Structure 1
């Protein structure tokens, strides 16, 4: 029997591409042919970061379709990006499927038989069905995030939200027992950028919710034992995480990783380094970056700080590097899974993206939480209130009105780092979750069994 061929379609953002690339490598290792479909811009970024010219990195065939935005347009504006790709990508995806299948028919090769799409791109399922493809969804966020979005109609009915998705009820909200509580002002669709773009984001969620029933199953980068409450609400969601990728396989990074991080970490004492990274989208102004730098210096501890390309001007970046030396190191991007697994790392100052959260869980690293937008507030609730593996950075009152951008002073940064590193109970809980995650992906573990079932489904 010929190997099945699968199209994989992520939401066009780094935090969505990475876990879907990890899943793709797993599929390839088990005999499935994968064509990974990025937007044209992201496709170019990934191949550029590899610097090899390889269009099939790690055996994954890389292809692209346009997102509808022009060169230089702001793709960090999620509402603008969403509005554009919602209009353009369905037709482009349909043309791509037809083109691949026509080419494979001429070559007498197996046609595309499956589409695995990010649940944030579930609009693609009707397109796939039109061409006779089977479909599966992939949830790159917490299962609790997926559950919260699917339950929007019930939340409107119960008076938690109005018809536009804005909160009618003030205070904390918990969807079900054993799930994290979240302030009603922090639902992801209301924290995705400028409030003017909220209707576009909310409409996309509605559209995706309506299409999810077309997926035969949904796999999730999570662990059954970490999210029992959320997963009990949706038995057909299969947690297969924490997903990871071996160091010899490309993770789908948009920027080249600084390989020298490993040698620098090797030179540091065990459990001494403060690792700082805020993902691919979070942005802070110059004043906040300076306060953060000074706070890290006040700890008198070594630190590794990722300041991604474009998030600070050249002059400021050089200033931060000068201030960091000799104890600290500022890099533009790094192999985060390897960094978090390094014995020198003591804690992780993070934006609480789900990838970062799961990578920290896998390595048993305690977290200092500084969420910025979308699902990060829910993830913080898991970390600090449910699992007890981290602490919150106290945001000033102004942050509530500015989506987390109120100025956090250097003394606050120093004090919270010292508090976290002095908290042996939090560290012990982080190590316990590490052991739980390792059991889940090990022989007989819940994630391993779910992944095997999914592989059998795709190959069947």
Structure 2
């Protein structure tokens, strides 16, 4: 049998690219070759932070993963955080390029991010197999699959905007959701962008009918109610990053590994790890409250602070807030950090990658969501899994230093939360071990080579 050649097409954001590369490495481990497609800007960031031992910076070992860059349809001065503009640019510029890639590399299957779902129309046109990969929770996958139901129930209008701010359930057995989790509505102050994003999501969702495979970076034991509601979703995660001498880092920033030797010097289960992903922004006042709150805990802390984390680009933080109790890095090897025995808890924005990485290491959470599905993830962590706590804002909308200290102390004093975290870790491990549900689902996909069935 010929080696399967898979084209992997993530949405060009850090939280999408990272699990997609982990998925690609799983494919390679099972005898596939992968054409991994990034936009030119992200490809250049990707390669500049590469940690690979190989002949050039475009392949892994024997060219089983080929990194390919494509234009995103935007001009150099366009802002890539304008999701609506980026989605339009991708959809208009990539179809013909994908056709050429499929022909040039002899691609036999294309796996696309949900947010690139329109690309399955290209696969269908070319007569090759196609599959969806969803990098967030199965609950969010189910939400996007049920937009017509949300309109019918009066939760959102025909433009996708919430009729009122409220919580709801997709089914009686599923966890509460909030209208704040609808990421296209985060641009509600810009109705043109909101409508553009909603139309784009609807278009991507319509392509679900072109794929037999709906793969999701989650585990059955993390979200059992969702799989009862929508059993077509197949959990294949958590897809955790593999560190070895030949791994490709998907980081858009250079990782500062000095934090690992610092962690080695800290007592067991003592360090508060703080990281807010690749998009979250802080006002300077809130940033300083967080810094002083961490100091108030009198515990060692490791804090990831991107250069663009604060709206005021001139704010000085590293020398002011880093001392004998704390270490600050601009970016770090998060999975290595979370698995370190000195980590006690995770103050997180609750992006899905961070969520499953923390849960996979049995860590309790302090939840500080920024936008979109992070709001749902926070609710799920605190109210359903019961392995975390949220922060309460004061009358000015600020999370105070006293609140930060109080919640850190409360979380680390709660033995029940820590016990539930450890139990959940074991359940997740069982899912990804050989014979576990995630492992078996991944094997089913990899070993599936019957022609014309995936697109049927």
Q: Shared topology, TM-score over 0.5?
A: yes
Q: Which residue of 2 aligns with 1:151?
A: 146
- 1-structure distance, mates of 2:241, 2:450: 21
The answer to whether 1:56 aligns with 2:54 is no
- Asked whether the 8 Å contact 1:193–1:373 carries over to 2, the reply is no
2:409 aligned with 1:418: yes
| Residue 316 of structure 1 pairs with residue 315 of structure 2 | yes
Which residue of structure 2 lines up, in the alignment, with residue 297 of structure 1?
295
How many equivalent pairs are there?
Answer: 442
2:71 is matched with 66
* Mapped partners of 1:321, 1:26: distance in 2: 41
Shift of 1:35: 0.6
Task: Please state whether the residue corresponding to 2:219 is helix, strand or coil.
Answer: coil
CA distance in 2, matches of 1:43, 1:71: 14
Distance in 2 (alpha carbons) for counterparts of 1:33 and 1:374: 34
> Does the residue aligned with 1:61 lie in a helix, a strand or coil?
strand
Deviates more, 1:51-60 or 1:374-383: 51-60
Q: Please state how far the C-alpha of 1:342 moved relative to its aligned partner.
A: 0.6
Please give the residue correspondences for 1:23-422 in structure 2 after superposition, counting only pairs within 5 Å: 23-50=23-50, 53-57=56-60, 59-98=64-103, 100-101=104-105, 111-191=106-186, 194-196=189-191, 197-248=193-244, 249-312=247-310, 315-317=314-316, 319-396=317-394, 406-422=397-413
Distance in 2 between the 1:412 and 1:91 partners? 53
Give, in whole Å, the separation in 1 of the partners of 2:258 and 2:165.
48
- Determine the structure 1 residue equivalent to 2:419: 428
TM-score, normalised on structure 1?
0.92
Give the secondary-structure state (helix, strand or coil) at the position aligned to 1:254: coil
Contact 2:49 2:249 in 1 (8 A): no
CA–CA separation in structure 2 for the residues paired with 1:122 and 1:239: 18
Would the alpha carbon gap of residues 362 and 51 (structure 1) be closer, same or farther in structure 2, given more than 3 Å must change? closer
**Cα gap change, 1:144/1:150 in structure 2, threshold over 3 Å: closer, same or farther?**
same
Summarize deviations over 1:7-30 as a string: whole Å, max 9, x none. Answer: 000011000000000000010111
Q: Distance in 2 between matches of 1:9 and 1:439?
A: 29
Paired residues of 1:79 and 1:193 also in contact (CA < 8 A):
no
Map Cα deviations across residues 420-439 of structure 1 (whole Å, 9 max, x no partner): 11111111111111000001
Instruction: Provide the rounded CA distance (Å) in 2 between the counterparts of 1:89 and 1:16.
Output: 18
The 1:50/1:192 distance shift into structure 2, 3 A limit, reads farther
- DSSP-derived class of the 1:279 partner: coil
CA RMSD of aligned residues (A): 1.9
What is the alpha-carbon distance in structure 2 between the residues aligned to residue 300 and residue 149 of structure 1?
43
Alpha-carbon distance, 1:315 to partner: 4.6
User: Conserved in 2, the CA contact under 8 Å of 1:27 and 1:33?
Assistant: yes
SS of residue matched to 1:373: coil
Tell me how far 1:321 sits from its aligned partner.
3.5
Which residue is 1:447 aligned to? 438
How far the C-alpha of 1:396 sits from its partner, in A, is 4.7
Contact 2:131 2:211 in 1 (8 A): yes
User: Residue deviations 1:199-231, cap 9 Å, x none?
Assistant: 121111100111111112011110112111212
- Secondary structure of the equivalent of 1:18? helix
Q: SS where residue 85 of structure 2 aligns?
A: helix
**Partners of 2:167 and 2:179 within 8 A in 1:** yes
Q: Higher helix proportion, which one? A: 1
Q: Is the 8 A contact 2:46 2:249 kept in 1?
A: no
User: Are the aligned partners of 1:137 and 1:218 in contact in 2 as well (CA < 8 Å)?
Assistant: yes
Deviations 1:101-142 (A, max 9, x none): 4xxxxxxxxx11100000111000001111121001101000
8 Å contact from structure 2 (residues 394, 400) kept in 1:
no
